[in-house]
């Protein structure tokens, strides 16, 4: 669980992952604004664009408006973002564990002195 400067709490749930990633996704949205716009028009908010019914991205590729290569680049970037997020998460969790271990140790040391 991460606490944002605003005081909002991000719970480590896959569905809420987008909130934590918002910063880096802004850049992605700018570089692929056309794909992002199409993705927003998909029938399902969590559309993976791999042939779901009502997928606006797939429809655009089928219509020849969006190149499959561009879609693939977008997908690659998304995978990279997801990977980065996972790596950061793991590092943060390890740091948090180490911090709590230190606190527990110092509390025990204090208790022993009293």
Closer CB to Zn ion, 34 or 89, in the complex: 34
What DSSP letter does each residue of the chain carry, written as one string? Answer: -EE-TTS-EE---GGGHHHHHHHHHHHHHHHTHHHHHHHHTSSSTT--SSS-TT-HHHHHHHTTSS-HHHHHHHHHHHHHHHHHHHHHHHHHHHHHHHHHHHHHHHHHHHHHH-
Rule CB under 5 A: say whether 32 interacts with Zn ion.
Answer: no
Residues 49-108 binding Zn ion (CB under 5 A) are 49, 55, 57
Closer CB to Zn ion, 44 or 100, in the complex: 44
Closer CB to Zn ion, 12 or 37, in the complex: 37
CB 50 to Zn ion: min, Å: 8
Instruction: Please count the residues of this chain forming the interface with Zn ion, following the rule CB under 5 A.
Output: 5
Which residues contact Zn ion by CB under 5 A? 42, 47, 49, 55, 57
């Amino acid at each position: 669980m991460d606490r944002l400067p605003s005081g909002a709490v991000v719970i480590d749930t896959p569905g809420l992952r987008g909130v934590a990633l918002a910063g880096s996704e802004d850049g992605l949205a700018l570089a692929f604004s056309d794909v992002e716009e199409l993705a927003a028009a998909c029938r399902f908010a969590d559309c993976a664009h791999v042939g779901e019914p009502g997928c606006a991205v797939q429809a655009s590729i089928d219509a020849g408006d969006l190149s499959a290569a561009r879609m693939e680049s977008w997908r690659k970037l998304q995978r990279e973002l997801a990977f980065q997020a996972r790596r950061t998460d793991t590092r943060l969790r390890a740091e948090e564990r180490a911090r709590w271990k230190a606190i527990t140790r110092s509390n025990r040391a204090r208790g022993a002195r009293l």
